Amino acid sequence: MRGLLCWLVLLFLLQPWESQLQLAGPRCHTGPLDLVFVIDSSRSVRPFEFETMRQFLVGLLRGLNVGPNATRVGVIQYSSQVQSVFPLRAFSRREDMERAIRDLVPLAQGTMTGLAIQYAMNVAFSVAEGARPPEERVPRVAVIVTDGRPQDRVAEVAAQARARGIEIYAVGVQRADVGSLRAMASPPLDEHVFLVESFDLIQEFGLQFQSRLCVRDLCNGVDHGCEFQCVSEGLSYRCLCPEGRQLQADGKSCDRCREGHVDLVLLVDGSKSVRPQNFELVKRFVNQIVDFLDVSPEGTRVGLVQFSSRVRTEFPLGRYGTAAEVKQAVLAVEYMERGTMTGLALRHMVEHSFSEAQGARPRALNVPRVGLVFTDGRSQDDISVWAARAKEEGIVMYAVGVGKAVEAELREIASEPAELHVSYAPDFGTMTPLLQNLRGSICPEEGISAGTELRSPCECESLVEFQGRTLGGTSANPNGLLNRSLAQLTARLEHLENQLANQK
């Protein structure tokens, strides 16, 4: 904590620094924002150093637009334990916050930074403590101020917090461990990691932090109409779409699967080897898939099954009728841990998940049934019988492997050709590029269910189509399935070649 000595100057120069913040522009109106300060108050913090940190917090507060519908602020301090100074719901006036900060008494014990991040994620940013519900998409920001090396692990819990949508700034004071700061902070690291060694750097952090909050104001202050995400850029803004989806001509909406119908069941590996922070990444990946589907009772229906040593239906095909409901349910799924019984999961899918009782549409309606398996390792039971049975039942199977997933098992699970139905990522952080491949395969107008219509199987056209699909094509083009597969593969190769050319 000796590094905090350099902050002593702030006690004498705090007013000029605050004035500079105000000269940078009027107090920014950030719109809705949930902001939690996580303050190190371990025993190495000397009394005058803690007073400097206290004044630093007060200075930052004076640059924020505080209010129940604007910025809500919470403060927690930690050492060997974590203490809530005041939660997000406590105060709506800056004066009350400043009073609580000035009355703050340091804990003066160890430095359990990981424990503090865990508390912030599970408690401080909970709706009960005053955070806005996730569906309101109010940004959640944590500012961690520390002076030394954590006495517990921070990388895993920080990754889990980031996966839950918490943006983390890590501010270290002189002797703080830079590696730990980088492990905690959100990307890009050059905008979220600060090592404070002088007054100038304190000022820089304060100014940059306020500037970044003010940038949010443009998107929050106008009716931007962006379907997915609005990003401020100087005096303008632009709309973004999820990975694998394209921005439409109106500059606001994102393309999605709008033709045909699919019953999609996702089998998600919840075994111990996945680890909690990676399970959060898998949930986010699942929601990115949902983003490009036209979820509705008449369009695409989605069900989710988690498996480990046992199998649990998180929600069946017939439960949710909108993408928003599905995504909210995915985020609420709790990690199971334990073993990897992939064969048992496949059996559950075949026997239960695609039943009409679970929400699958009757076979007579000819709606494609698609199973998508996520796994990170070798199955502890036999998969061959139920992998084959799934395909015999007409379920189109996709397999997504991560890390130590076994290629032979992925190929056995997946439908043919394996090149179009098997995807692999070396780790959970690199799954996003797989979205485009999955979109090209699952999205109805681009993949297996292009142009599917709900009609009676007794109609002449339906019988001809069924015969054509059974034989691998149509009456007019018996090689249709092969040609379509080759065309998809060629298009993807051309896309990759174009990306490589652009990188040169």
* pLDDT for the residue 224: 75
* pLDDT for the residue 56: 78
Helix (H, G, I), strand (E, B) or coil at 18: helix
Stated length of the chain: 504
Q: Using CA atoms, how far apart are residues 174 and 73, in angstroms rounded to an integer? A: 26
Please report, for residues 57, 162, 170, 394, the alpha-carbon distance to residue 191 in angstroms, rounded to integers and kept in the order given. Answer: 19, 15, 10, 50
Per-residue model confidence as pLDDT tens for the chain (504 residues): 444 333 333 333 334 444 444 434 445 545 678 999 999 888 776 777 777 778 778 888 887 888 888 889 999 999 999 999 999 999 988 899 999 998 888 888 888 999 999 999 999 999 999 999 988 888 899 999 887 788 899 999 999 999 888 999 998 876 778 889 989 998 888 878 887 764 345 556 666 666 666 544 456 656 677 877 777 665 567 788 765 567 877 788 776 665 558 899 999 999 998 888 888 889 988 998 888 888 999 889 999 999 999 999 999 998 999 989 999 999 999 999 889 999 999 999 999 999 999 999 999 988 999 999 999 989 999 999 999 999 999 999 999 998 888 999 999 999 998 888 888 888 777 776 677 667 666 665 444 444 334 433 344 443 344 344 333 443 334 444 445 445 555 555 665 566 556 555
Residue 225: count other Cβ atoms within 10 Å of its Cβ: 11
With a CB cutoff of 8 Å and minimum separation 6, the contacts of 243 are 288, 432, 433, 435, 436
Pairing relationship of beta strands 236-240 and 263-269 according to DSSP bridges: unpaired
Exposure string for 412-426, b = 16+ CB within 10 A, e = fewer: bbbbeeeebbbbebe
Q: What is the dihedral of CA 9, 14, 15, 18, to 10 degrees?
A: 140
Find the largest Cα–Cα distance for the chain.
88
With a CB cutoff of 8 Å and minimum separation 6, the contacts of 236 are 218
* pLDDT for the residue 131: 94
Are the CB atoms for 372 and 396 separated by under 8 Å? no
Are the CB atoms for 273 and 377 separated by under 8 Å? yes
Helix (H, G, I), strand (E, B) or coil at 478: coil
Q: Using CA atoms, how far apart are residues 430 and 281, in angstroms rounded to an integer? A: 10
* pLDDT for the residue 158: 93
Task: Record the tokens describing residue 101, joined without a space.
Answer: 């900060």
Q: Using CA atoms, how far apart are residues 92 and 300, in angstroms rounded to an integer? A: 43
Helix (H, G, I), strand (E, B) or coil at 213: helix
Are the CB atoms for 371 and 267 separated by under 8 Å? yes
Integer Rg of the chain from CA: 26
HEC string of 284-306 equals HHHHHHHHCCCECCCCEEEEEEE
Q: What is the separation, in whole angstroms, between the first and last Cα of the chain? A: 47
The β-bridge partners of 83 are: 77
Residue 216 C-alpha from the chain's centroid: 19
Q: Using CA atoms, how far apart are residues 159 and 172, in angstroms rounded to an integer? A: 18
